[in-house]
Structure 1
Amino acid sequence: MEEKILTLLQEEYPEIDFTASDSLVDDGILDSLTLTGIIAALTMEFGVTIPYEEIVEENFNSIAGMARMIEKLQ
């Protein structure tokens, strides 16, 4: 799951190194506009709806966090 998410996001955002940090949001690597795009990409790719309460730093600070969230929502 993590590899699939990483590949998807690297294609969408080649300028961002998603492996550089486990605090992508907290370190300011991902801004709100980028997060919106990531949510849209994950929703389309995995066919899940990401509810508002799941849009928290811990779910988007790392690829592992995103994978855990998607697996939980599937």
Structure 2
Amino acid sequence: METLLKILAELRPDVDFEENKELVDSGELDSFDIVSLVGELCEAYEIQIGAEDIIPENFNSVEAIMALVKRLQED
């Protein structure tokens, strides 16, 4: 989780990722942010995030992003 929070803080230092539970719905993360985030996550966690996983539900909160990472690490 610490790695994820660091990646997010570097991506958008103006956002409180631990408190905000609607990152995509509220517009805190836009499509460009998500593309950048996907690349960082793939590199940091050595996973592959497919197009089918790039949906708002997977990026709306830190918990949702971490759940996606863990699921992909298990595959």
Asked if TM exceeds 0.5, the reply is yes
- Runs of 4+, deviation exceeding 2 Å: none
Consecutive unaligned residues in structure 2, runs of 5 or more: none
Separation of aligned partners in 1, 2:19 and 2:35: 20
Matched length = 73
TM-score (norm 1): 0.87
Consecutive unaligned residues in structure 1, runs of 5 or more: none
Please give the residue correspondences for 1:54-65 in structure 2 after superposition, counting only pairs within 5 Å: 54-65=53-64
C-alpha displacement of 1:58: 1.2
Q: Give the secondary-structure state (helix, strand or coil) at the position aligned to 1:30.
A: coil
C-alpha displacement of 1:18: 1.5
Determine what percentage of the aligned residue pairs are the same residue: 34
The residue number in structure 2 matching 1:31 is: 30
Q: CA RMSD in A?
A: 1.2
Q: Give the secondary-structure state (helix, strand or coil) at the position aligned to 2:3.
A: helix
Separation of aligned partners in 1, 2:56 and 2:8: 17
Separation of aligned partners in 2, 1:70 and 1:40: 12
